[in-house]
Amino acid sequence: MSHDYLGNPIDTDHPLARQALDDFTLGFLSYHPRAEGIVASAERHPESALSNALAGILMMFSESPEGPVLAERFRKIAAQVTDPQPRAALYVALLQAWINEDLDQVLHLSETLLDQHPRDLFAAKLNQYVEFNRGNWPALLRIALKAVAASDDIAQSHGMLAFAYEQCHLLDEAEASARRALQLQASEPWAQHALAHVMLTQGRIEEGIGFLESVSHHWQGLNSFMYTHNWWHLALFYLARGDEARVLEIYDQHVWGVLPAYSQDQIGAVSLLARLELAGIDVGQRWQALAPYLQARHRDTVQPFLSVQYLYGLGRAGKPEADQLLHALREHAREAPVFSRAVWAEVTLPLAEGLLAHARGEHPVALERLGVALPRLNDIGGSHAQRDLFAQIELDARLHAQDWAGAQQVLELRRRYDAQDVPTNRALERVYQALGLPTLAQAAAARVEVVLNTPHTP
């Protein structure tokens, strides 16, 4: 029996097919485009159920309405293999469950794979992906601990563990795991990403800038998600220090335009443009440049966390497809599978309505609808840093509604994470002036001046 580079059984002895399976696993774990070679390999090797199952699963990761259709072609080929190898058969069943939107079964089968093959890190990563999109952070941690127990020598397992710890607010453990991964492999991008999360959460802004700039050369050649996302994180650090020119430069050169048709590139662009505007920065025609790709999403209800950001971008670009997408979300909230219907109806829909209202300057409506959704944002997935966009938009609606007392409470809580954050202190200056507290307004303004006059570029 043949095995992959991690020691997991595979169902082919063909040298090129074996290499493609190794490239898929290592490429997927490392966020490298070499993973995509599994598609051509599957087409060349219909006798390998595992190759075709994994090619189909890769189609599901496209996060698009077309994903299940593309995946079904490979599932049919895999299903035609008689007496498939047991591990391959589990992956074929997993693909079928995912196409059927039976995510509970996807989770069960991926964990079964990990239990039967403790170094099947792809199964662990897939399980984490599904749980991430459902906001089940302790499940990420449980799976990652299993993976590390059998793969302590593999950097990517520690990267998975680092991010799981961070999402569970266990920041010391997250940093230790990330640094362990980077000891094993200095270029491990998911560990770099997890450490960026830790530094941002702890307000270690200057350290975060220095760290990410020092490792950014490793990102060249990664897939578009990891490349653009780590640059996105670096942009957040610069935004916190008021370096508007650097953030716009990162957006133009590294966040938008790498693979513009891809879901994650689109939401990264929406999220960063929104943050720039919330900080009072003119983004020029960038919404209009992004809009054609978002317009194609006018019926996209694959994932709530993605759909609401497509909607916001369409709203900011002033496109009529925003109303079409909102209508599609309302329909989906009524027709979604039972396991997710409440999340769509009770969280996604009010969030979508609030975001579109804010995009159109309807701030009282935005404040009311966002207030319904914010306490349950965890249910739609996305990381802490990503979901913070929605809290910032709610805060902006509060400022426009002149809820100065409420805004003061939110802003000072935000300042506990990073006392020198430029957008926060600029907003506090405005709020304290409105509240008749000029001394506090002057203190906030002074903090901004100190930051802007302090070099932070490494």
How far apart (Å, rounded) are the C-alpha atoms in residues 407 and 418? Answer: 17
Under the banding of pLDDT at 50, 70 and 90, the label for residue 454 is confident
Mean pLDDT computed over 129-155: 98
| Residues 9/85, Cβ–Cβ less than 8 Å | yes
The whole-chain average pLDDT of the chain stands at 97
Question: What is the dihedral sign for C-alpha 442, 440, 209, 231?
Answer: negative
Angle subtended at Cα 417 by Cα 411 and Cα 419, rounded to the nearest 5 degrees: 70
The per-residue pLDDT for 336 is 87
Does pTM top 0.85 for this prediction?
A: yes
Supply 172's token pair.
């010391």
Q: What is the pLDDT of residues 197-255, one digit of tens each?
A: 999 999 999 999 999 999 999 999 999 999 999 999 999 999 999 999 999 999 999 99
Helix H or strand E encompassing 159: helix 155-167
Q: How far is CA 451 from the centre of its chain?
A: 29
The per-residue pLDDT for 458 is 61
> Is the pLDDT assigned to residue 1 strictly greater than 80?
no
How far apart (Å, rounded) are the C-alpha atoms in residues 427 and 239? Answer: 14
Residue whose pair of structure tokens reads 């966009």 in the numeric block: 389
What secondary structure does DSSP assign to 419-451, as a single string? TT-HHHHHHHHHHHHHTT-HHHHHHHHHHHHHH
The per-residue pLDDT for 456 is 65
Q: What is the pLDDT of residues 283-319, one digit of tens each?
A: 999 999 999 999 999 999 999 999 999 999 999 999 9
Mean pLDDT computed over 83-92: 98
The per-residue pLDDT for 338 is 83
> Is the pLDDT assigned to residue 337 strictly greater than 90?
no
How far apart (Å, rounded) are the C-alpha atoms in residues 204 and 240? Answer: 11
Residue whose pair of structure tokens reads 């599994």 in the numeric block: 38
Mean pLDDT computed over 92-109: 97
Q: 442 — phi, psi (to 5°)?
A: -65, -35
The amino acid that residue 320 corresponds to is P
The answer as to CATH 2.30.40.10 being correct for domain 135-241 is no
Domain ranges of the chain: 1-134, 135-241, 402-452
